[in-house]
């Protein structure tokens, strides 16, 4: 694996299970956002829902983005007890999830 330097973006794409109430979805999103208060490695958190007109979302409806200063910070976040606890509850209401990390590259 190549040496990773710079900011790391952690992207999660999710589809909630059929029948999960909107209030429950909102509760999970608030809990996800509140991880910033418990995990110092999280530098920012944003989320939104798919608004694309291309219809390429494959059923994924929610997008979550967390920024970390280093790959080590991302690793500490993944292993943090607050994240582990949240992840267990969050994944129980999801039908599909994709997670990917990347380091933004400057345009050449």
Q: Which residues are the active-site residues? A: 77, 80
**In sequence order, what E strands does the chain have?**
8-16, 44-49, 62-68, 94-102
∠ CA 19-26-68, rounded to 5°: 120
**In sequence order, what E strands does 50-93 have?**
62-68
Which residue in the block uniquely carries the two structure tokens 């429950």? 24
Q: Which two tokens stand for residue 63?
A: 């997008």
Residue 58: DSSP 8-state: T
């Amino acid at each position: 694996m190549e040496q990773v330097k710079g900011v790391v973006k952690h992207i999660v794409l999710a589809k909630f299970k059929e029948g999960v109430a909107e209030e429950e979805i909102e509760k999970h999103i608030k809990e996800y956002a509140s991880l910033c208060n418990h995990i110092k490695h999280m530098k920012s958190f944003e989320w939104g829902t798919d608004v694309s007109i291309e219809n390429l979302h494959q059923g994924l409806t929610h997008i979550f983005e967390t920024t970390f200063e280093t790959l080590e910070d991302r690793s500490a976040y993944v292993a943090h007890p607050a994240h582990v606890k949240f992840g267990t509850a969050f994944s129980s209401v999801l039908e599909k999830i994709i997670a990917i990390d990347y380091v933004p590259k400057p345009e050449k």
